[in-house]
Amino acid sequence: MPTTQPEQPPSRVGIRTCVACRQEAGKRALVRIVRGAEGAARVDMTGRAPGRGAYLHRDPACIENARRKRAVERSLHATVGSDLWTQLSS
């Protein structure tokens, strides 16, 4: 029988799902948002801050989509201030 499906690699290191469009992407295409200690979401510039993280495409459409759907709030159970969106769209 034909095997058209390529085998899944055993490791999916570096692949994350964008919380806005639910598409998978490599970490480099995404921006990481973490839940800070005080329950407020913030952009993780280093990509390795401790804590729960959500990923979002570096794409204005996904950023806007996430903002409208409150996808980051729901994913992280964190509060998202308007300054976060300002930072993401700059």
By CB under 5 A, name the binding residues for Zn ion: 18, 20-21, 57, 62
Query: Buried b / exposed e across 7-25, counting CB within 10 Å, b at 16+?
Result: eeeeeeeeebebbbbeeeb
Element (H, E) at 62: helix 60-69
Which of 1, 12 has the CB closer to Zn ion?
12
User: CA torsion sign, 59 to 56 to 63 to 69?
Assistant: positive
Among residues 31, 80, 35, the alpha carbon closest in space to that of 57 is found at: 31
Q: Pull the structure tokens for residue 26.
A: 């490599």
In whole angstroms, how close is the CB of 30 to Zn ion at the nearest point? 8
Which of 56, 78 has the CB closer to Zn ion?
56
In whole angstroms, how close is the CB of 20 to Zn ion at the nearest point? 4
Which of 39, 47 has the CB closer to Zn ion?
47
In whole angstroms, how close is the CB of 64 to Zn ion at the nearest point? 10
Residue nearest Zn ion, CB atom distance: 18
In whole angstroms, how close is the CB of 59 to Zn ion at the nearest point? 6
